[in-house]
């Protein structure tokens, strides 16, 4: 861990994030690292996520990092961690909001992720002083900080109840646009996001689509447009589907992607391939 | 007065002749049995006495001594009943024996002969020593498939006696080849979707490569593995009999099959059950029962690590030496290994629809349960995901018979060249496959650190097999495909 001490920011001090003034009583916050002044996007979701959600969250993290729109999330397992990971992989400046003191990183497995996040010029934020243990009842309150910090909220996967639903509702009340990724109607991890869409959240169809939507919002100035929608899509494509797409044998499909991987054009994870963005 | 017949002991999957000697002397009535018998064999005394008497022949009221030679080889089982009875009757001059005769079979109290595990061994000995053999009629036709054997089927002790009294002027049993058919070979066309896994299976069959399936439950890893024996070339009779003999020494009766064996031990199996062992008598383990066939280890990471590492040496040498007091047996164990594993304890990491409930640390600990050197044996490792509903509607894929034709073509090319591609070493590979430095794809992967030098060798071996399936020289295309069929773990 970085040894840098955390500093306390009251709303009277310069550098206090403007977004937090939307809260009823803007609380003092403890910060370690650099809080970016660029418009932030909260990428949140359930801990009980599926590969579908992880791929999307990572993809969002990577794409937003390329535009220097910091991702705010809660460093929880699952979607939160995936979003942070995506951001860190492109050396974006992310923000993690904790529900405990900054000396109590929870969950422990994400300590190294947080270190990377700080090394990339990101920040970690909490409204609790050091030595506050991670108690579950504090986490919902943490969500209102996430909602306030962000200029837009993206829910990747969520059950009917849970932290990400709270974040979405709070954000909507504060006038922040809420985006949600649709999923199968019968999948527990997508029930919450589908419900949000029915209740008025904006459906997004991938990280590229998210960028397109976000760039219409005030404040989101895109320095450059990320590389156009690639083939395969950023959420990946199953290798088993390639022969049908390309009208060739599985053997030919395998050798084609093997060649492309060697050239660094795509990467393979399990049974899917993904475009390798930003290498050239 | 003395007489002897030949019976058989199974040691290390080999049929070893055992002389069953009987002496009937003039001293007062007595019945002794020597030659390291186990309990089942010691009880043969009672069975033989009653069986002889109930066959309408008289058990000699004299001093009967039986010796099973060589006297220092431990013997076991009930298949010595028939040769003991015949030797006694011959020593008592009630029947005359040909100079040499092999006999095996357990006697029921009414004199019926029951088939035992050693019938096949008797037929093997009959062929090797060029002498007739008597076995229970139950499996006589089947063991008569041993080329060169002269098999006589007997129903009962009195039947055996009448055959011997007529100096064997019967025709030997003809070999029953109807049972050599494949018992239902599961067709690979039954597997829906899973194109990559099916392709990996074809390549594994062609080159003999060890294969690892990896993925969430319900993907059909087991279903796929069970289809491998059908893709392999059929065993010739010699190999089929070798396999059946090993099975017999594990006490498993069964048909002689030309289909390569498929063994799938549960992960709770002991080390002795896997590599072989047993108290007193060396017994073949699963790796020997899978000789010439497939050993499938489902839930690979659930097997104790020490058990898996015990497989490494037999994998290398193709045989395993089991030593016990008095006997040591050398069991062949040239098998093809297929492993399957979930990616994590809950099984759902990487699944598109179900959440994984494992923490990150748990996942990597789970994978570390299989040692690096063990993972190194797998030339192919592919991810098998759950099948989507759409795949069930898809057209049927290629059938087992179609693929196995290509496989046997590729195997012929390999055997004409050296050996199976699985066994190619670095120097041989340099001659028959692209050199590491010549392949742009391998060099790129080495530079990225995506594969190791040893990984590169495996990739080239697999590429050699892919090229053999097409009857071509190794090219960048084959290397690229091989690169995609590894590293799922």
Instruction: State the smallest CA–CA distance between residue B360 and chain A in angstroms.
Output: 7
Query: What does the pLDDT average to over B182-196?
Result: 79
Query: What does the pLDDT average to over B332-347?
Result: 90
What's this model's pTM, rounded to 2 decimal places?
Answer: 0.72
CB atoms within 10 A of CB B159: 18
For an interface test with B, the pick among A51, A57, A241 (most B C-beta atoms closer than 10 Å) comes out as: A51
CA nearest to B302, candidates B333, B337, B340: B340
pLDDT in tens, B352-386: 777 888 877 788 888 888 888 888 889 999 988 87
B194/A240 touch (CB, cutoff 8 Å), yes or no? yes
pLDDT at A193 over 90: yes
pLDDT in tens, A15-62: 888 888 888 888 999 999 888 888 899 999 999 889 899 999 999 999
Mean confidence (pLDDT) of chain A: 85
Please report which confidence band the pLDDT of residue B478 belongs to, taking 50, 70 and 90 as the band edges: very high
B484/A189 touch (CB, cutoff 8 Å), yes or no? no
Closest-approach residue (CA) in chain A for B386 = A271
Instruction: Kindly state the percentage of chain B with pLDDT values over 70.
Output: 93
Query: What does the pLDDT average to over B312-338?
Result: 86
Pairwise CA distance, residues B262 & B289, whole Å:
8
Angle of the A250-262 helix axis to the B195-207 helix axis, nearest 10: 90
Q: Concatenated DSSP letters for B324-391?
A: ETTEEEEEE---EEEEEE-SSSSS-TT-SSS-----HHHHHHHHHTS-HHHHTT-SEEEE-PPPPHHH
Instruction: State the smallest CA–CA distance between residue A52 and chain B in angstroms.
Output: 5
pLDDT in tens, B11-68: 888 899 999 999 999 888 999 999 888 888 888 999 999 999 999 898 999 999 999 9
* Model pLDDT, residue A225: 40
Which of A139-143, A217-221, B32-36, B186-190 comes out lowest in average pLDDT?
A217-221
Instruction: State the smallest CA–CA distance between residue B486 and chain A in angstroms.
Output: 10
The top-scoring range by mean pLDDT among A210-224, A248-262, B354-368 is A248-262
Say whether residue A238 is in contact with chain B using an 8 A CB cutoff: yes
pLDDT at B248 over 80: yes
A247 vs A118 pLDDT, higher one: A118
ipTM of the complex model: 0.77
Q: Which residues of A touch B445 (CB under 8 A)?
A: 261-262
Mean confidence (pLDDT) of chain B: 87
Instruction: Kindly state the percentage of chain B with pLDDT values over 90.
Output: 39
Pairwise CA distance, residues B89 & B2, whole Å:
10
For an interface test with B, the pick among A250, A256, A276 (most B C-beta atoms closer than 10 Å) comes out as: A250
Those of residues 189-208 in A touching chain B at CB distance below 8 A are: 189
Instruction: State the smallest CA–CA distance between residue A25 and chain B in angstroms.
Output: 36
Say whether residue A264 is in contact with chain B using an 8 A CB cutoff: yes
Which of A141-150, B205-214, B320-329, B333-342 comes out lowest in average pLDDT?
B320-329
The partner residues of B327 in beta bridges, in order of sequence, read B324
Which of A63-67, A79-83, B198-202 comes out lowest in average pLDDT?
A63-67
Please report which confidence band the pLDDT of residue B252 belongs to, taking 50, 70 and 90 as the band edges: confident
Please report which confidence band the pLDDT of residue B283 belongs to, taking 50, 70 and 90 as the band edges: confident
Does an H or E element contain A6, and which? none
* Model pLDDT, residue B115: 87
Q: Print burial letters for A69-99: b (CB count within 10 Å at least 16), e (below 16).
A: bbbbbbbbbbbbbbbbbbbbbbebbbbbbbb
* Maximum CA extent, chain A: 66
A70 vs A272 pLDDT, higher one: A70
Say whether residue A268 is in contact with chain B using an 8 A CB cutoff: yes
pLDDT at B173 over 70: no
Structure tokens at A161: 């109840």
Pairwise CA distance, residues B112 & B82, whole Å:
10
Q: Concatenated DSSP letters for A177-241?
A: -EEE----TT-HHHHHHHHHHHTTPEE--SHHHHHHHHTTSTT---SSPPPPPPSS-TT-EEGGG
B352/A259 touch (CB, cutoff 8 Å), yes or no? no
Structure tokens at A57: 């969250």
pLDDT at A227 over 50: no
Instruction: Kindly state the percentage of chain A with pLDDT values over 70.
Output: 91
Does an H or E element contain B415, and which? helix B400-417
The top-scoring range by mean pLDDT among A73-82, B234-243, B449-458 is A73-82
Residue B279 burial by Cβ neighbours in a 10 Å radius (0-12, 13-18, 19+): exposed
DSSP state of B75: B
The partner residues of B281 in beta bridges, in order of sequence, read none
A255/B199 touch (CB, cutoff 8 Å), yes or no? no
Please report which confidence band the pLDDT of residue A226 belongs to, taking 50, 70 and 90 as the band edges: very low
B349 vs B24 pLDDT, higher one: B24
Instruction: State the smallest CA–CA distance between residue A188 and chain B in angstroms.
Output: 8
Place of tokens 């597997």: B191
* Model pLDDT, residue B202: 94
Using left for φ > 0, alpha for ψ between -120 and 50, and beta otherwise, residue B395 falls in beta
Which of A114-118, A172-176, B116-120, B393-397 comes out lowest in average pLDDT?
B393-397
CA distances from A160 to A46, A152, A196, B165 (A): 10, 20, 9, 88
């Amino acid at each position: 861990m970085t040894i840098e001490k955390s500093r306390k920011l009251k709303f009277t001090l310069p550098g206090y994030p403007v977004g937090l003034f939307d809260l009823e009583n803007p609380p003092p916050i403890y910060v370690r690292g650099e809080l970016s002044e660029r418009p932030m996007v909260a990428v949140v979701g359930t801990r009980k996520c599926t590969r579908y959600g992880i791929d999307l969250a990572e993809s969002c993290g990577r794409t937003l990092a390329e535009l220097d729109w910091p991702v705010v999330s809660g460093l929880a397992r699952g979607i939160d961690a995936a979003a942070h990971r995506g951001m860190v992989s492109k050396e974006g400046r992310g923000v993690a909001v904790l529900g405990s003191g900054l000396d109590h990183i929870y969950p422990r497995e994400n300590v190294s992720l947080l270190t990377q996040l700080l090394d990339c010029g990101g920040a970690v934020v909490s409204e609790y002083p050091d030595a506050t243990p991670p108690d579950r009842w504090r986490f919902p309150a943490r969500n209102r900080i996430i909602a306030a910090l962000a200029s837009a909220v993206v829910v990747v996967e969520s059950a009917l109840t849970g932290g990400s639903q709270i974040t979405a509702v709070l954000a909507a009340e504060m006038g922040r646009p809420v985006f949600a990724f649709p999923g199968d109607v019968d999948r527990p991890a997508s029930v919450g996001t589908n419900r949000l869409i029915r209740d008025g959240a904006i459906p997004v169809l991938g990280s590229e689509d998210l960028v397109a939507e976000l760039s219409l919002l005030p404040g989101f100035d895109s320095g450059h447009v990320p590389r156009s929608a690639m083939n395969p899509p950023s959420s990946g494509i199953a290798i088993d589907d390639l022969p049908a797409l390309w009208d060739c044998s599985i053997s030919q499909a395998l050798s084609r992607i093997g060649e492309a991987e060697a050239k660094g054009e795509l990467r393979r994870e399990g049974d899917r391939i993904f475009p390798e963005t930003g290498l050239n | 007065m003395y007489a002897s017949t030949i019976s058989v002991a199974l040691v290390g999957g080999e049929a070893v002749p055992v002389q069953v000697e009987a002496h009937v002397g003039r001293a007062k009535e007595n019945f002794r049995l020597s030659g390291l018998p186990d309990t089942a064999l010691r009880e043969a005394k009672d069975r033989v006495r009653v069986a002889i008497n109930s066959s309408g022949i008289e058990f000699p009221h004299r001093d009967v001594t039986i010796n099973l030679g060589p006297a220092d080889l431990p013997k076991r089982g009930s298949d010595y009943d028939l040769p003991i009875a015949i030797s006694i009757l011959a020593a008592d001059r009630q029947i005359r024996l040909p100079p040499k005769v092999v006999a095996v079979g357990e006697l029921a109290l009414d004199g019926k002969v029951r088939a035992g595990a050693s019938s096949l061994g008797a037929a093997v000995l009959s062929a090797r020593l060029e002498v007739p053999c008597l076995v229970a009629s139950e499996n006589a036709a089947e063991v008569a498939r041993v080329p060169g054997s002269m098999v006589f089927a007997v129903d009962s002790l009195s039947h055996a006696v009448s055959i011997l009294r007529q100096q064997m002027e019967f025709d030997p049993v003809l070999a029953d080849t109807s049972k050599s058919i494949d018992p239902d070979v599961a067709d690979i066309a039954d597997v829906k979707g899973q194109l990559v896994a099916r392709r990996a299976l074809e390549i594994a069959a062609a080159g003999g490569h060890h294969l690892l399936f990896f993925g969430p439950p319900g993907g059909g890893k087991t279903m796929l593995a069970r289809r491998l024996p059908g893709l392999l070339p059929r065993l010739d009779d010699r190999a089929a009999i070798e396999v059946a003999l090993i099975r017999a020494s594990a006490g498993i009766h069964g048909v002689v099959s030309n289909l390569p064996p498929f063994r799938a031990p549960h992960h709770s199996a002991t080390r002795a059950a896997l590599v072989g062992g047993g108290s007193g008598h060396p017994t073949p383990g699963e790796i020997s029962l899978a000789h010439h066939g497939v050993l499938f280890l489902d839930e690979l990471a659930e097997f104790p690590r020490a058990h898996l590492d015990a497989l490494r040496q037999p994998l290398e040498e193709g045989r395993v030496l089991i030593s016990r007091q008095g006997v040591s047996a050398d069991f062949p164990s040239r098998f093809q290994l297929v492993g399957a594993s979930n990616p994590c304890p809950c099984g759902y990491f990487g699944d598109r629809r179900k959440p994984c409930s494992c923490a990150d640390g748990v996942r990597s600990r789970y994978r570390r349960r299989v040692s690096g050197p063990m993972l190194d044996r797998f030339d192919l490792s592919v991810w098998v995901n759950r099948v989507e509903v759409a795949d069930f509607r898809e057209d049927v894929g290629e059938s087992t018979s179609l693929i196995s034709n290509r496989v046997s073509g590729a195997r012929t090319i390999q055997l004409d060249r050296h050996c199976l591609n699985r066994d190619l070493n670095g120097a041989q590979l340099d001659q028959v496959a692209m050199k590491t430095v010549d392949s742009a794809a391998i060099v790129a992967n080495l530079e990225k650190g995506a594969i190791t030098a040893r990984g590169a060798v495996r990739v080239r071996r697999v590429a050699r097999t892919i090229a053999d399936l097409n009857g071509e020289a190794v090219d960048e295309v084959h290397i690229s495909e091989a690169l995609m069929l590894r590293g799922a773990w």
